[in-house]
Structure 1
Amino acid sequence: MVKTSVDPSFFSTYTEQERRVAKDLIDYSDVQTLPEIWAVVAKRHPNIVAVRDPHAKPEVAFTYTQLYERIQCFASGLQALGVNPGNMISLLSDNSPSWLIADQGIMMAGAVNAVRSSLAEREELLFIIANSGSTALVLEDLKTLKKLRQGLNELPIEFVVLLSEEQPESDDSLKVLNFSQLMEIGKQHNFQSVQRKREDLATLIYTSGTTGKPKGVMLNHANLMHQVTSLGSIVTPNPGDMVLSILPTWHSYERSCEYFLFGQACTQIYTNLRSIKADLKKFQPNYIIAVPRLLESIYEGVQKQFREQPASKQRLVNNLLGISEKYIKAKRIAEGLDLDNFHISALQRLAASIQATVLSPLHAVGEKLVYSKVREATGGKVKQMVSGGGALPRHIDLFFEIVGVDILVGYGLTETSPVTHVRRKWRNVRGAAGQPVPGTEVKIVDLETRKPLGMGEKGLVLLRGPQIMQGYYQNPIATAKAIDSQGWFDSGDLGWESENKDLILTGRAKDTIVLTNGENIEPQPIEDACLRSLYIDQIMLVGQDQRSIGALIVPNVETLAKWAESQNLQLCIQSDNVTLAGSQKVNLESKIVQDLFRQEMNREVQNRPGYRSDDRINQFRLILEPFSIENGMMTQKLSIKRHVVMERYCDTINNMFA
Structure 2
Amino acid sequence: MADSMPVALKETAARHGNRPAFKVRDGNAFRPIDYASLEELVLGVAEGLLDMGFGKGDHIALISNNRLEWIVSDLAIQNIGGADVPRGSDSTAEELAYIIKHSDAVAAFVEDETQLEKLRPAFGDLPAVRAIIVMDERFKGGDGKRTFPFDAVLARGRTRRAKGDRRADAIRDSLRPDDLATIIYTSGTTGTPKGVMLTHGNLLYDARVIQPLLGVTPEDRFLSILPSWHILERISEYCAVACGCSTAYSNPRTLADDLMLEKPTVFVTVPRIWEGIYSKICQKISQESGVKRILFHKLLSTSRACRRSERILNNLEPAYSKVDQARFSAEKITSRLTLAALAPLYRLAQKKFEALRSRTGGALRIAISGGGALPAHVDAFFDAVGITIVEGYGLTETAAGVAIRRKEGPVLRTVGPPMPETEIEIRDEKGNRLPPGQQGIIHIRGPQVMKGYYKDANETAKTLSHDGWLNTGDLGRMTLTGELAITGRAKDTIVLLGGENVEPEPLEAKICESDHIAQALIVGQDQKSLGALIVPDREAVERFAQASGIS
User: For the superposition of Structure 1 and Structure 2, which TM-score range results when normalised by the shorter chain?
Assistant: 0.7 to 0.9
Partner Cα separation in structure 2 for residue 657 and residue 421 of structure 1: 33
SS in 1 for 2:185: strand
For residues 252-301 of structure 1, the C-alpha deviation after alignment (integer angstroms, 9 at most, x for no partner) is 11111210122111111111111001111111110100101111111122
Q: Does 1:310 align with 2:289?
A: yes
Quote the residue 1:357 is aligned against.
340
1:161 to 133, 144, 167: 133
Aligned residues of 2:442 and 2:473 also touching (Cα < 8 A): yes
Cα RMSD of the aligned pairs, angstroms, is 2.7
2:18 to 44, 47, 54: 47
Superposed displacement of residue 376, structure 1: 1.0
Quote the residue 1:627 is aligned against.
526
For residues 427-473 of structure 1, the C-alpha deviation after alignment (integer angstroms, 9 at most, x for no partner) is 311100111000100111112x2111122211111100110000000
Quote the residue 1:526 is aligned against.
none
Aligned residues of 2:521 and 2:533 also touching (Cα < 8 A): no
Partner Cα separation in structure 2 for residue 152 and residue 511 of structure 1: 39
2:451 to 439, 460, 470: 470
AA aligned opposite 1:386: I
Partner Cα separation in structure 1 for residue 292 and residue 133 of structure 2: 57
Quote the residue 2:477 is aligned against.
496
SS in 1 for 2:402: strand
Q: Does 1:290 align with 2:273?
A: no
Quote the residue 2:420 is aligned against.
438
Superposed displacement of residue 170, structure 1: 5.0
Aligned residues of 1:75 and 1:191 also touching (Cα < 8 A): no
AA aligned opposite 1:433: V
Quote the residue 1:223 is aligned against.
202
SS in 1 for 2:56: coil
Quote the residue 1:141 is aligned against.
112
Stretches of structure 1 that go unaligned for 5 or more consecutive residues are: 1-27, 514-539, 551-616, 632-647
Aligned residues of 1:161 and 1:176 also touching (Cα < 8 A): yes
SS in 2 for 1:113: strand
Q: Does 1:127 align with 2:98?
A: yes
SS in 2 for 1:238: coil
Aligned residues of 1:168 and 1:176 also touching (Cα < 8 A): no
SS in 1 for 2:96: helix
Superposed displacement of residue 235, structure 1: 1.3
Aligned residues of 1:546 and 1:657 also touching (Cα < 8 A): no
Stretches of structure 2 that go unaligned for 5 or more consecutive residues are: 495-501, 513-517, 538-551
Partner Cα separation in structure 2 for residue 238 and residue 344 of structure 1: 40
Compared CA separation, residues 40 and 621, structure 1 to 2 (3 A): closer
SS in 1 for 2:387: coil
Compared CA separation, residues 357 and 376, structure 1 to 2 (3 A): same
Quote the residue 2:185 is aligned against.
206
1:594-605 aligned at under 5 Å gives the runs none
Q: How many residues align?
A: 511
Q: Does 1:479 align with 2:454?
A: no
SS in 2 for 1:269: strand
1:405 to 387, 391, 399: 387
Compared CA separation, residues 218 and 622, structure 1 to 2 (3 A): closer
Partner Cα separation in structure 2 for residue 324 and residue 618 of structure 1: 28
SS in 1 for 2:105: coil
Q: Does 1:62 align with 2:33?
A: yes
Quote the residue 1:600 is aligned against.
none
Compared CA separation, residues 445 and 653, structure 1 to 2 (3 A): farther
Partner Cα separation in structure 1 for residue 328 and residue 361 of structure 2: 41
Quote the residue 1:348 is aligned against.
331
Quote the residue 1:15 is aligned against.
none
Superposed displacement of residue 55, structure 1: 4.6
Q: Does 1:240 align with 2:219?
A: yes
Aligned residues of 1:48 and 1:240 also touching (Cα < 8 A): no
Give the TM-score taking structure 1 as reference length.
0.74
Compared CA separation, residues 469 and 130, structure 1 to 2 (3 A): same
Partner Cα separation in structure 1 for residue 507 and residue 206 of structure 2: 24
Superposed displacement of residue 329, structure 1: 1.5
SS in 2 for 1:297: helix
Quote the residue 1:184 is aligned against.
155
Compared CA separation, residues 347 and 442, structure 1 to 2 (3 A): same
Give the TM-score taking structure 2 as reference length.
0.87
Quote the residue 1:98 is aligned against.
69
Superposed displacement of residue 344, structure 1: 2.9
SS in 2 for 1:355: helix
AA aligned opposite 2:457: P
Aligned residues of 1:79 and 1:191 also touching (Cα < 8 A): no
Superposed displacement of residue 307, structure 1: 2.4
Aligned residues of 1:223 and 1:468 also touching (Cα < 8 A): yes
SS in 2 for 1:484: coil
1:454 to 427, 435, 450: 435
Superposed displacement of residue 309, structure 1: 2.3
1:572-611 aligned at under 5 Å gives the runs none
Greater radius of gyration (CA): 1
Quote the residue 1:598 is aligned against.
none
Partner Cα separation in structure 2 for residue 60 and residue 101 of structure 1: 16
AA aligned opposite 1:475: D
Equivalent pairs: percent with the same residue? 33
Partner Cα separation in structure 1 for residue 328 and residue 520 of structure 2: 43
Aligned residues of 2:265 and 2:363 also touching (Cα < 8 A): yes
